[in-house]
Amino acid sequence: MRPLTGPFAFQDHPGQWRPLTTRHTSRRALLHPKEDNIMTHLIPTAAGTDVESLGAVAREYASHSKAPSTLRNYRAGWAEFASWCQAQGRESLPASPATVADYIGALAANGAKASTINLKRCAIGFAHRAANLADPTAAEVVRAVLSGITRKIGSAPDRKAPLTLEALRPALAALPDSIAGVRDRAILLLGFACALRRSELVALDASDLLLAKAELRVTIRRSKTDQTGIGTEIIVPAVGGELCPVQAVGAWLEAAEITGGPVFRRVDRHGRVGQRRLSAQSVALIVKAAARRAGLDWRRLSGHSMRAGFATQAALNGVNPIDAMAVTRHKSQTVFSAYIRAAGVQQRQAIAAALRRSDR
């Protein structure tokens, strides 16, 4: 296998590069690199650029060309492909279109979902382009195999259930009477009210919140659809009562004595609030734990359920889709309409109208 001078190369010493494969690094190291500098050894480069000719400053900026989560997925995907090629006695870089086609076929035969297969295909293509090599995933034979896989096993996403008010109320009521429960209430209500992704929730700092009696202004610095950090602000009104996110966030900040740094932090079993921010996975676990305490089907919920819950509840309550999209920040009404379909609003209206007697 030829040396890889692209997004998956590790530099042991200046000028010495070795390809990243599962022989060189554990799967845990691949998927859970140090959070403070995840991109230290990943140098994505534009086509036609020799990575070794880049200076330290250029390499540093290049390392931020893709989101860390994307590079983590690409890194793991590439390592698995390289390992498979090694076991099959095939070349991984450059890989032939036939090799890639056989690989994705093997993934499908072993039960991988279409979305997982497509992600690994993207990782292989990115590795080749970054190494200034022809992209084998663009070949017609690879496209044909991928199309056949999609048609045969389907490509419907595994959608988690939305956390609508019907489920949110009992989940809140089941929270423990502790400082962790105060934090979890703030997470659930703010995540629902602002339709936040779990990554956006845990990224919030105290400086991103402007709390007043009548409202809470939340600044989202960066998101899945805003990788360049343009940012946006969501104004949350104080609605009062058990569902008021403004009161819930204020109670958490006061109880945890947070005046700066991460908003949502770890709380140990003794009730001590730490300095480290929660991980995105922690949000999913909090949602599931709250649902489980309330006797709900927690297996169908995830960290995304709060965001989906807001969109679905807005559709059920007859909120204008344009107004709801101002909160969810969807750029496409087509994408947002999937939540409306899931809520069944249009179907209910159409069926009720069709069954209505004409003489009424």
239 or 12, higher pLDDT = 239
Residues assigned a catalytic role:
197, 224, 304, 307, 330, 339
pLDDT in tens, 279-329: 989 999 999 999 999 999 888 888 889 998 998 888 888 888 888 888 988
pLDDT > 90? residue 224: no
pLDDT of residue 34: 38
First to last CA, the chain: 76
Tokens of 110: 């072993």
Of 183, 164, 150, 155, nearest to 278 (Cα)? 183
Instruction: Evaluate whether 9-153 and 165-347 have a shared fold.
Output: no
Q: Percent of the chain at pLDDT above 90?
A: 40
The domain 165-347 is classified under which CATH number: 1.20.120.1760, 3.90.1300.10, 1.10.443.10, 1.10.510.10? 1.10.443.10
pLDDT of residue 153: 75
Burial class (CB in 10 A: 0-12, 13-18, 19+), 62: buried
CA 13 from centre of chain: 34
315's enclosing H/E stretch is: helix 305-316
Q: Percent of the chain at pLDDT above 70?
A: 77
* E strands in the chain: 9-13, 16-19, 209-211, 215-220, 232-237, 265-267, 273-277
pLDDT of residue 129: 87
* Top-tier CATH class for 9-153: mainly alpha
pLDDT of residue 2: 40
**For residue 317, which phi and psi values (nearest 5 degrees)?**
-85, 5
Residues 152 and 208: their CA atoms lie apart, in Å, by: 46
Give the mean pLDDT of 75-79: 90
Please tell me which of 33-42, 265-274, 311-320 the model is most confident about, judged by mean pLDDT.
265-274
Which residue carries 């500098």 as its tokens? 37
pLDDT of residue 45: 42
CB-based contact 67:111 (threshold 8 Å): no
Tokens of 258: 């947070």
Of 258, 278, 267, nearest to 199 (Cα)? 278
pLDDT in tens, 154-196: 655 666 788 889 999 999 999 999 999 999 999 999 999 999 9
pLDDT of residue 229: 59
47: CB partners within 8 A, 6+ apart: 129, 130, 132
CB-based contact 9:18 (threshold 8 Å): yes
Lowest mean pLDDT among 42-46, 147-151, 260-264: 42-46
Its pTM surpasses 0.85: no
Residues 114 and 149: their CA atoms lie apart, in Å, by: 7
Cα pseudo-dihedral 159, 316, 246, 194, rounded to 10: 40
207 or 356, higher pLDDT = 207
Q: What is the DSSP string of 156-210?
A: ---PPPP--HHHHHHHHHTS-SSHHHHHHHHHHHHHHHTT--HHHHHH-BGGGEE
CB-based contact 33:20 (threshold 8 Å): no
pLDDT in tens, 86-130: 999 999 988 999 999 999 999 988 888 888 888 999 999 998 988
Give the mean pLDDT of 226-236: 75
Give 360's pLDDT tier (boundaries 50, 70, 90). low
Across the chain, mean pLDDT equals 79
CA 226 from centre of chain: 13
pLDDT of residue 292: 93
Domains in the chain: boundaries? 9-153, 165-347
Residues 224 and 332: their CA atoms lie apart, in Å, by: 14
